[in-house]
Chain A
Amino acid sequence: MTLAATHPPSAPAILPSSGGMRGALADLFWRRPRFLLVLMLAPPLLWLGIVYIGSLIALLMQSFFSIDEFSGLIDRHVTLKTYGDLFQAANLDIIIRTVVMAALVTLASVAVAFPIAYYAARYARGRWKALFYLAVMLPLWSSYLVKVYAWKLILAKEGILTWLLARLHLGWLLDGWLALPYVGGSSLSVSATGTFIAFVYVWLPFMILPVQAALERVPNNLVEASSDLGASPGQTFRTVLFPLALPGIVAGSIFTFSLTLGDYIIPQIIGTSRLFIGMAVYAQQGTAGNIPLAAAFTVVPIVIMGFYLWGAKRMGAFDAL
């Protein structure tokens, strides 16, 4: 197609047809560039439209059906009854529990990730930087299940953490914490605290990387100017560094928040057996055969994440992705 441009100037203005099937196709694409565009975009668009969005829509449609109370069969008439069921106390508990956990995990991830990302973005150079990337990514290379089971063993009643605390004569601290309502249990691995720790560990890399990317884009001279003008380190952090890193933090929080919202494996292995949204979906569609309620449950994180992303966009989070 670029033949005319690269040939010596003696070439004719209109080239003869190159002949054959290939030639005809090439000519067609050249004459109608839009056709080529459509042809190239069609497979991914079909994938997105049918396989991805289509299956989501099929699922969402299910949430407007209801389950017949007597036979347990699905009643295929459009109704909002299933959504009403979401507001039953037990189901509302599940939603609140999941959202609170997701929020706490996100806040803790920010608190842990920020200093690490700050160090990596500002101080680590050369080999240390490579080591940093390796250290952050390494946990992602091993299977998620392996990590969770490892944490189950660490947190177990007869696990290393309890042993360590007992050795340090801090067993009373652990016992005191475990005696508290909501966060406690008979051991860390059967408490909400354990679930929380495992969540923070597993999702941490997803917070560190965007925060680091955002911090690297904060010009050093702004920080220097701030201290030159007499700001204390704390003030510099509050008024310069943190606002400029905020898009990165919000971008990271999208990952930690949505991943916690949807996860159903960690709370199944570590925790009190109280259900999270993902587990409720699994139980309702699998054991109960109540697909409408399972579908309605899946709508909850979609709605929550919709609002979350809308807020995140306003804070400029997508500039840092």
Chain B
Amino acid sequence: MQSFLKSCTALTIALVFAGQAVAQEALKELGKGEGALNIVAWPGYVERGETDKAYDWVTDFEKETGCKVTVKTAATSDEMVSLMNEGGFDLVTASGDASLRLVAGKRVQPINLDLIPSWKTVDERLQNAPWYTVDGVHYGVPYQWGPNVLMYNTDTFKEAPKSWNVVFEEQTLPDGKSNKGRVQAYDGPIYIADAANYLMAHKPELGIKDPYELNEDQYKAALELLRGQRKLVGRYWHDAAIQVDDFQNEGVVASSSWPFQVNTLVAAKQPIASTIPEEGATGWADTTMMEADAAHPNCAYMWIEHSLKPKVQGDLAAWFGSVPVVPAACKGDELLTDEGCKTNGFENFDKIKFWKTPTSKCATQGDQCVPYYRWVSDYIGVIGGR
């Protein structure tokens, strides 16, 4: 038994060390495709027309380049990080709460932007974004982004709510009934940042500079706000389909949400709209990153170039309810329509604080921040009524 345990330990250690790949130079020039490409992506991010024929941005790529695309979907950022740590993939569509972890763990390699002709078409607001650019080196190329909007029922709210207070503080809604039991909040610890974002505007004395960088006092205040919110919230959402159902059958009238649910409900002819209140909102921005020792680097570069085509960007944005990173995609895409970018939040970029992983090291609070793992355990407590 003991020798078995020992070999387990040895294996674990071996795996840990195998994970420490050496940082390397970006590719200098492109060669021929290797005939295959493995991507870790969010569900719905790499579609080959299997769900709906109109949404297909893989088949053409395979025909053009001969790179056969294999997709492994991951449901959470943490799953993405662990898949990338296992290795064997070429690309990953990492969100801001995963991308820097991948860079820090040296699991991804710098990208040579000269090899990507479409780079100059990328939204300038994203070109040097801090969640994938470290010391001026680009560890990826933006893929899509989107805001966490305030979704509301237009029968209840004749005018769009101006503030997030409709979900944070008990009050009588315009239809004369209390908001108790009629609002929802996101079932993920990262939602603490939404509370911090609200406090940033309403309690300036706390001195919150960045909702992802909270010192002990600011963090406590955010949790206090969320504990009050627990009394208003019947169910926290994390499955988009369940939230859609709750807006239809459960009498929920306001919640933080994604454009995806808003589009789904609007398509189902429900009285639903969304807004970004005056406090601004949190949001996510995803980056296509390349593994440190990718087996198919040429195909990977070809995919990155392909992913920036306006058609791909527009179709993807229409499918996922997100915003293209190439502004040219906002015009003339059949599936997205010319209204699509605005609906999904294109003009609200400045109001959005993009997701990133909270760590104890933080610039705005003198490295005295509460790290993410405490966000997790405390948010569980908040939902449990503690």
Which residues of A pack against B, CB within 8 Å? 57-58, 61, 67, 69-72, 76, 88-91, 93-94, 97, 152-153, 156-159, 185-187, 189-190, 268-269, 271-275, 280, 283-284, 286-290, 293
Contact = CB atoms under 8 A, between A and B. Distances in A.
Contacts of B385: 93, 274
B78 interface: yes
A269 B249 CA distance: 14
A187 B371 contact: no
Taking residues whose C-beta sits less than 8 angstroms from the other chain, chain B's interface range is 35 or more
Contacts of A275: 380, 383-384
Interface in B232-264: 233-236, 238-239, 242, 245, 248-251
B251 A287 contact: no
B381 A90 contact: yes
A93 B384 contact: yes
Kindly name the residue among B189, B245, B250, B385 whose own CB sees the greatest number of chain A CB atoms within 10 A.
B250
Contacts of A97: 384
Nearest to B357: A72
The 8 lowest CB-CB distance pairs between A and B, nearest first, are A186-B181, A90-B381, A288-B376, A190-B234, A156-B249, A273-B236, A186-B234, A190-B235
Contacts of B381: 89-90, 93
A72 B249 contact: no
Interface in B65-83: 75-76, 78-79, 81
A69 to B, nearest CB: 7
Interface in B338-386: 359-360, 371-374, 376-378, 380-381, 383-386
6 contacts: A61-B8, A71-B359, A97-B384, A275-B384, A288-B78, A290-B377
Given A190-B235, A269-B242, A273-B383, 5 more contacts: A70-B371, A72-B371, A152-B242, A187-B181, A283-B376
B216 interface: no
Contacts of B250: 156-158, 186-187, 189-190
B347 to A, nearest CB: 31
B384 A185 contact: no
A116 to B, nearest CB: 30
Contacts of B79: 286
Contacts of B233: 273
B234 A187 contact: yes
B107 interface: no
Contacts of B249: 153, 156-159
A61 B189 CA distance: 27
Given A72-B359, A190-B234, A286-B78, A274 B383 contact: yes
Contacts of B386: 89-90, 93
B121 to A, nearest CB: 35
A185 B373 contact: no
B51 to A, nearest CB: 18
Contact of B234 (A61, A153, A185): A185
B187 interface: yes
B6 to A, nearest CB: 12
A158 B248 CA distance: 8
A289 B372 CA distance: 10
Given A156-B249, A158-B251, A72 B372 contact: yes
Contacts of B377: 88, 90-91, 288, 290, 293
A58 to B, nearest CB: 6
B138 interface: no
Nearest to B373: A72
Interface string B75-110: 110110100000000000000000000000000000
Contacts of B174: none
Contacts of A268: 238-239
B49 interface: no
A286 B181 CA distance: 28
B182 interface: yes
B180 interface: yes
A90 B188 contact: no
Given A271-B235, A274-B383, A187 B376 contact: no
A271 B237 CA distance: 11
B331 to A, nearest CB: 38
A289 B251 contact: no
Contacts of B75: 286
B376 A272 contact: no
A35 B5 CA distance: 28
Contacts of A61: 5, 8
